[in-house]
């Protein structure tokens, strides 16, 4: 059974039809790549998938039910990391992630924060404002959420490799493998191919004029 599926999705932005009649599904331990050139509509599709915006037509189902009707459960079991890191630049990494843990009702996370930041190579940088971190360090801080909310079933990641170095890419790759191994599902946009021994499908968005 599909964990997450989209049916007859279409999206119009600025009078341009980005996609229509679009169906997808992703099941436990599956990875779905969404591909397409700049401006094809990948981010727009991800925002529809996580319920941040409505599709022009169609619906997204979580475990067979419209995400709008199982909103709370869906968001409890989802981690979405957008194209931008989604961090408050005036706060430190610790402050950003502590706030995120509270927002997601994950109080136990606070105890794990330092270990996760160490794993991500951010020790010594955890207390400075995020704006003083490099782009790759900011990305790492954003990706810490994948370690903090480890029981989320669905990960939706928009260009998560952006700005990461080789070691960061491998760290994230191993994390994705671990998640798939635990029965999670991952939807990802990336211009980079991941070499992974799990069922992988691809959705190509054509750029439309
Ligand atoms: N909030 C918005 N209001 C109006 N138009 C938008 C908005 N967001 C995106 N668009 C338009 O929708 C189109 C698709 O944008 P989107 O960000 O989904 O593409 P993308 O495939 O993710 O691109 P990229 O690879 O560059 O990140 C673009 O032409 C963009 O101008």
User: What pLDDT shows up at residue 102?
Assistant: 92
Residue closest to 141 by CA, chosen among 185, 85, 191: 85
| Residue 1 confidence (pLDDT) above 90 | no
Residue nearest to atom 6 of ligand 1 (CA): 13
How far apart (Å, rounded) are the C-alpha atoms in residues 134 and 177?
26
User: What pLDDT shows up at residue 108?
Assistant: 80
Spell out the residues 6+ positions from residue 45 whose beta carbon is closer than 8 angstroms to its own.
9, 11, 18, 19, 22, 34, 205
Whose tokens are 């794993």? That residue is 119
Query: 70: how many CB neighbours lie within 10 A of its CB?
Result: 16
> Does residue 149 line the site of ligand 1, with CB under 6 A?
no
Encode pLDDT of 150-205 as tens digits.
Answer: 889 999 999 999 999 999 999 999 999 999 999 999 999 988 777 888 999 999 99
Both ends of the chain: CA-CA distance in Å? 35
User: What pLDDT shows up at residue 94?
Assistant: 95
> Does residue 39 line the site of ligand 1, with CB under 6 A?
yes
Which pair of tokens denotes residue 29?
């331990």
Residue nearest to atom 31 of ligand 1 (CA): 39
Query: 209: how many CB neighbours lie within 10 A of its CB?
Result: 4
For residue 56, the CA-to-ligand 1 centroid distance in Å is 15
Topology of domain 1-77+152-209 in CATH is Rossmann fold (3.40.50)
**More confident position, 162 or 209:** 162
User: What pLDDT shows up at residue 57?
Assistant: 97
Grade residue 16 by pLDDT with cuts at 50, 70 and 90.
Answer: very high
| Residue 6 confidence (pLDDT) above 90 | yes
> Does residue 168 line the site of ligand 1, with CB under 6 A?
no
Spell out the residues 6+ positions from residue 137 whose beta carbon is closer than 8 angstroms to its own.
121, 122, 125
- State the complex-level ipTM: 0.96
Domain map (residue ranges) of the chain: 1-77+152-209, 87-150
């Amino acid at each position: 059974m599909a964990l997450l599926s989209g049916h007859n999705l279409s999206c119009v932005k600025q009078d341009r039809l980005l996609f229509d009649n679009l169906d997808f599904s992703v099941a436990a331990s599956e990875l779905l790549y969404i591909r397409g050139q700049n401006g094809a509509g990948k981010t727009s599709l991800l925002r529809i998938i996580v319920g941040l915006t409505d599709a022009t037509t169609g619906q997204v189902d979580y475990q067979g039910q419209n995400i709008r009707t199982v909103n709370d459960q869906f968001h409890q079991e989802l981690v979405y990391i957008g194209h931008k890191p989604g961090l408050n630049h005036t706060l430190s990494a610790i402050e950003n992630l502590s706030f995120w843990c509270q927002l997601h009702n994950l109080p136990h996370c606070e105890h794990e924060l330092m270990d996760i930041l160490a794993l991500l190579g951010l020790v010594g940088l955890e207390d400075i404002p995020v704006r003083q971190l490099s782009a790759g360090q900011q990305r790492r801080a954003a990706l810490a959420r994948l370690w903090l909310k480890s029981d989320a079933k669905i990960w939706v990641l928009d260009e998560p490799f952006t700005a990461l170095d080789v070691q960061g890419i491998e760290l994230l790759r191993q994390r994705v493998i671990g998640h798939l191994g635990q029965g999670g599902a991952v939807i990802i946009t990336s211009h980079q191919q991941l070499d992974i021994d799990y069922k992988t499908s691809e959705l190509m968005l054509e750029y439309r004029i």
